Structure 1
């Protein structure tokens, strides 16, 4: 991947981690150019947000502050890791679940000619 591709996709890659709407906005803005760097981070951000929402429903059923605090810290670390790799221009998968997200959302960002 060229440095120009990374620089062109960096803004959308960062947006993909900001709020639940970030990956959706980045997906539609990236739909025309299909930048590989942006697509990678859109898949990571979308996976993190979906997992956050689904696990949040389960964690919500526990009435324990240590469990809830651990949940928030775990996701804060994953989001910080993802956004820092986007800012630095690297395509690093988030720990533990990044490879799964890349496989699960593999059709996001693929060009029609592939």
Structure 2
């Protein structure tokens, strides 16, 4: 758990990261000059969700069809909501199943 100052200083950029892929990129850039651990945590979560979303759009839809893609999109919305509620509550709440992987895969960010 981060201290309250770290959370408050990084909360705005962390919220921005949840506003589409553009928001994730903006939050990443804003966080790159003065790293905030809380923002970095949420940027990593959203980079992971955005990557899965792109894979869903390009691969799953093409090879498995619209129904599979809709199901995965629905799951991604649920995962996004869980992460977004975490940032609003000032928590480093990993998205279920994939959150640990996202933190590991994107730890250098």
TM-score by length of 2: 0.90
Distance 2:43 2:70 in 1: 26
- Counterpart of 1:111 in structure 2 is none
Residue 17 (structure 2) aligns with: 16
Deviation of 1:14 after TM superposition, in Å, equals 1.1
Q: Go from structure 1 to structure 2 and tell me whether the alpha carbon gap of 1:63 and 1:31 turns closer, same or farther (over 3 Å shift).
A: closer
The structure having more radius of gyration, on CA atoms, is: 1
Q: Could you tell me how far apart the structure 1 residues matched to 2:105 and 2:27 are?
A: 18
Which 4+ stretches in 1 moved above 6 angstroms?
none
Matching of residues 32-43 of structure 1 within 5 Å: 32-43=33-44
**Corresponding position of 2:5:** 4
Structure 2 unaligned blocks of 5 or more: none
What TM-score do the two structures reach when normalised by structure 1?
0.87
Partner of 2:81: 80
Work out the CA distance in 2 between the residues paired with 1:32 and 1:60.
37
Quote the Cα distance in structure 2 between the aligned partners of 1:106 and 1:64.
Answer: 33
Partner of residue 28, structure 1: 29
Tell me the equivalent position of 1:93: 94
